[in-house]
Structure formats: structure tokens, C-alpha cells
Amino acid sequence: MKISVTSYLTLIFFVLFFHTFSSCSYNKYQICNEKYCKTKGIFRENEWYCHYECALSCIQGGCYDQALICLNNAEKLKKDNTDRKMVRTYAMHFVDYFLHREKGIIFYRTGKYKQALKELSLSISHEPSERAYTYLDKTRSKIFIQNRLAETTPQISINGIADYDKIIWTNKKKISISGIVSDEQYVSAIIIQQKSLFIQSSNKIIPFYNEFILPEGKQPVVIKAMNIMKNEAEKTITFFVDRSGPLIQIHKISNNIFKGIVSDESGEITFQVNNYSTQIIKEKSYFFSIPFDPNAKFLKYKAKDKLGNKTTGNLSLIKNRHLVAFNSSTISDIPLLTIGNGSPPKLELNHIKSSNVNAYRDNIEISGFVEYNQKIKSFFINKKKINKTPVIKMDFNQSIMLKKGLNEILFELHYDSNAILSKTIKIERKIQKIYQTAQRRSLYFRKVENTDSENFIFQKLLIKKLKKTNRFKIIAFSNSNCIIVDLPRIISHNIKLDDPEKELEALIQIENLKGEVLSNIDAYCDVSGKGRSYQLKFLAERIVEHIIRKYPLIDGSLKIESNSQFVVTPDKIIPDEILIKFKNKSIKCDEIIQPGNGVILYKKDDLDCTFGCETKIVGNSSVKGIYSFKYSINPIHLQNHFENIRGINQ
């Protein structure tokens, strides 16, 4: 078959056209890999974004010389070479433009660490990104090795702790520790109680703050820190948590003498009976024998430990009876289960009037007494034995930790040979209304249509982990009060050309209903050897950490100032480290809240605060103006007084 000259020239033209406009090849260098250094569409020599796209393709293929040429050409063509997310290319097309970051990564991979350090630092100064932070740490560690610097370990300093061997006694509901970790070779991780604290980027000095709940007893708390050279340091603080009051065990009352044992783990007890002088006891367990007025009608006694935990009791002294105990607020409608012979003993609980109780905090104290004339052998709360010796009466004030939801507290009193008296209290651990998800701002995720895609899997993980924080109300359809999370982007980066392990980057964009960008959030994972599934979970957790810090929950007291402004002063912020930064004045209100944000006004419901108070919503408003460390809200009419009213953002 003959081919005409015209057809032949046309064929040559299309070959040259395809080669010129679909790949970023330069005469100076031969393409190192034909699969890379290409653009998806037509390559336009005079457009910076074509050179930039080509550079990214070259980096994926390990063609670093060609990648630098492409980046340099993009830099010459583009007027503003600031690293930024979502830069317009043409029409409605956008690209994340990180010229300096990509140069830094090339220099790192080619062993030019000083140049890498310069470019990566410049990129972060323009637009912080986790990928840049990751490679900055890698670069610094290579420089330390190259300069043969002696390796260091992090120095952990905890506020208020001078002697780390000394046991810290506390009765606090929540334990908080704060301090500083420092290291010339950059602190990269801080772990408290096996939980990693959120760190945006490594630094030579990183302050930390953490709150947690500990059960009663001796509890070691381990703080670990790591630098970018993977060297670790560790310190242990030992707490003795004691939220329970002293135990008062009465053995005998005869001949106008009150006998028994008062005990407490703290080893320091203040004990008083009626108007007799107070005894200060420096023992864990103390046998007392106290005379009383034969004309006395009752005995009133109280014990307090060194932390301020108290137990109180009363005895009515009636002729022909050893004991008749009384209390004004005891359970009256809880059925008793008595097994065995003999008259049943008494088991009564203070301040609990029903077998079903609501609680609004994680730790509660239950006080009461048990009594039996023929002596009580053993008394148990949730299978934990309370008394050490047989008694005829015992007063207690025990701390109990609750889990979310329903908790059953079992009280068992063993007496006679095989007799048992038991009571069960059901306590519902509830979340205060103001902190429930229903009161939070709505968050709508644009749906990923391809259910088999990696983006769909990632979005599903992201929603699941975000729901656990209770920070947003996740909705299926957008509404007038929602913010929108755009479709996620998962970018896979080759580490080495033939290596199946990839570095993963996740990016999401959050918008308002007008389509205005509120924030761009990224996460990066260079963990290899654990599989793609692990990497996606890691990225989802990291993105969620960024979101709740970008949109913290801000709680504060409401006051009317002299200029008739309704002003909220934050005193509680979630997450905790945002609160510490706010108190230290390293961040201000305009960094954590924006005008127009919804604000709910509430106060504590004082009907029953035995185990924490429920909250009552009294109005709704929105942020009007923002000052350094407080913000004003739009005026609102409240029927009640403004006393004790607080404001929390949606």
C-alpha cells in the first residue's frame, strides 16, 4: 500500500505534536522514564501549571533533574511563587501549588540537605503542610548525622513537680498535668498514659497539657517523649487517688463508752464526736474509745482525711436498744432481698431517693450506713470488701467511677451464718444537654459516588471517627446552619519507583453554603510496612484532630458590660491544649471563633445536683464582635436574670 507524501507529513506532525504537548521533555536531559514527566492534558509551554504538573509526575518517577527543570520553569512563568493550597490555574480549575516544598523533597532525596532545609522551611512559612513538616524532620535528622552531632534525649519538665519519687495525693475528679519537653534535636512525640498528644510539628521546645481520670489507689502515670532521631526519654509520676471519706466502724456502745475503729488510706484523720475535742490521728487505722454524757440522746460524729474527704454519722441512744440509726434522706422504695434467718439489718444510702438515678459526671460519692445488732460480718460495694472487722454499725462515703450509659451498683451485707442483704442502684451516666450532639453545628459531607473507591473508604472512616468526638451533628442533607466538607482527595506518593509502599496524603476542604472556603486541612502518612488500611485510618484520625482544633468548643460566662454589650469570656475550651494557649495568651479569640457563629445560652438546672447538674437552655444568639480574649453576642431578651448564665458555641 502506497502512502502519499501528504499523509506521511501529517503522520509526522501528529507524532511531534503528541510528543511536544503531552510530555515535559527538554533537550538538555533525556527522559529517565517514559511513563513519567507527562501532563494529563495538552502541555502548554507558556503556562506555569503545565510545568508544575509535569514536575510532580517527574518526582513520582524519580526523575529529579527533570523535575527541578520543570519547577524552575514554573517559577519563572508564575508571578507569585508563594506555596498555597487551591491556586487557580484557568477558568474554575485549581491546584495545590507547593513549589518550594517539592523542591525541598527533591533536594532531600538527592542528598542536598542544606538546600532541602531552606526550601522546606520557606514552604512552611508560606503554607504549613504535614508533608513539608514530615520532610523537614527527615532533613534535620540527616543533617545531624552528616555533622556527626552527639545524639541527645528529650528533657521532660513537669510543672509543680520537684521530687519525682514522691507520691502525690489527690482527690480531684480529673487529674491534670502540664509541663515542657525540650530537645536540641527537636521533640517529635509526647505520650501520656499510652496516648499520643497532638503535635502539629516537631520543635525544640513543646509545652503540653493533659487531663485524664484515674481510679482510686496508687496510680503511676508515665510521660514519654521522643525526638526526630527516635531517641526517647521517660518520667513517671505516682498519684495516690483518694476520693472516699474515712470509714467509721462501730464495735460496741456500753457503759457510756463509744468504741470502734476509724480508718483511711491517707494515714491522717481528724475525728470528732459531739462537742468533744477533735482528735488528729496520724495512723491509717485507729481504735477509739470515747466516753459520752449518759444523758445524751444521740451521738453525732464526723471524720475527715488530709485531702478533705468526709464521712459523717448519727446514733440515737434509746434505752433497751444498742442502736437506732436515723437519716432524713434515705432510700424508701428499694426492695430488700434477705436470705437467712433473723431480723434483717439496715442498709441505707444518703441523698438517694430512688433505685434509678441520673449522674452528670464520671466520679460520684455514695455515702450511707449499715447496722445490725448481732454484728455485720462483711460489707461489699460492687464485690469490693469495705470493712476489715465485724461491726454493729458502719458509716461510709465511697467514690465510684461510672462509665457512659447504665451502671449498676451492687451493695451486699453479710450477717449471721449465711444471711445476705442486698440492694442494687441503677445509675445512668448522662451527658449534659448542652454538650450533646443535637446542640452542635451541622456538618454535611458531599457524597463520594464510587463506593468501591479509596476516597469512599476514607470518607467513611472520617465520618465514623468524627462522630465519636461529639463535636458536630453529622447530617445526610445540607441545611441553612451547616458547613460542608467537600469530597476528600487521597494522593499517593512514590517513595521509590519500584517500591509498592506509598506515602499517602489526605486533603479536605470545608466550605459554607455560599461556597466560600473556610479551611483546607491536610494530613500525611509516611508509615510503611503496615498496609494501606492502616494508613487510611491514620490519616482519618489525623484529619479529625485538625478539625476539632480548627473548630474548638468554647464555653464561658456571660456578662453585660457598661456599654450594654453582651460579652462571653471563655474559661473552658475543648481540646485542652487550646485552653492552655488561650490562658497563656498565645492565641486569641479571633483564631478560634468567627462572627456569625451560633451561641447557645444556658444555666445549670439546680433541681438535683447530687451527682452533677443537668443544664437548661435559656436562649440562642450569635457572635457579634470579637476582642482579644472575649467576644460579644447579639442582644437577646431573657426572662430570667443574667446571673450564672453561660454561653457555648455551636
Residue pLDDT, tens place only, 388-438: 889 999 999 999 999 999 999 999 999 987 889 999 999 999 999 999 999
> pLDDT at position 641, please?
64
Query: Are 489 and 506 in contact, with CB atoms under 8 Å apart?
Result: yes
> pLDDT at position 312, please?
95
Angle at 167 between CA 161 and CA 168, to 5 degrees: 60
Residue with cell 457572635: 623
Interval 562-578 mean pLDDT: 90
Q: What does 212-262 look like in DSSP terms, one character per residue?
A: E---SEEEEEEEEEEETT--EEEEEEEEEE--SPPEEEEEEEETTEEEEEE
Task: Say if residue 328 is exposed, middle or buried (CB neighbours under 10 Å; 0-12, 13-18, 19+).
Answer: exposed
CA distance 577 to 190: 13
CA distance 22 to 214: 62
Q: What is the rounded average pLDDT for all residues in the chain?
A: 87
Phi-psi region of 152 (alpha: psi -120 to 50; beta: other; left: phi over 0): beta
pTM: 0.86
Residue with cell 519525682: 164
Interval 310-329 mean pLDDT: 59
Query: Are 19 and 35 in contact, with CB atoms under 8 Å apart?
Result: no
pLDDT grade, residue 325 (50/70/90)? very low
Task: Say if residue 560 is exposed, middle or buried (CB neighbours under 10 Å; 0-12, 13-18, 19+).
Answer: exposed
3-state class (DSSP) for residue 430: coil
Torsion angle, alpha carbons of 345, 351, 353, 356, to 10: -100
* Set of cell numbers at residue 253: 456502745
> pLDDT at position 353, please?
85
* Set of cell numbers at residue 22: 503531552
3-state class (DSSP) for residue 92: coil
Amino acid in position 357: V
All domains of the chain in start order, with CATH: 5-146 (1.25.40.10), 155-241 (2.60.40.10), 249-430 (no CATH), 436-548 (3.30.160), 553-649 (2.40.30)
Angle at 82 between CA 105 and CA 65, to 5 degrees: 35
Residue with cell 501528504: 6
Query: Are 596 and 622 in contact, with CB atoms under 8 Å apart?
Result: yes
CA distance 17 to 42: 10
Query: Are 300 and 236 in contact, with CB atoms under 8 Å apart?
Result: no
The CA radius of gyration of the chain, in Å to the nearest whole number, is: 34
CA distance 375 to 392: 4
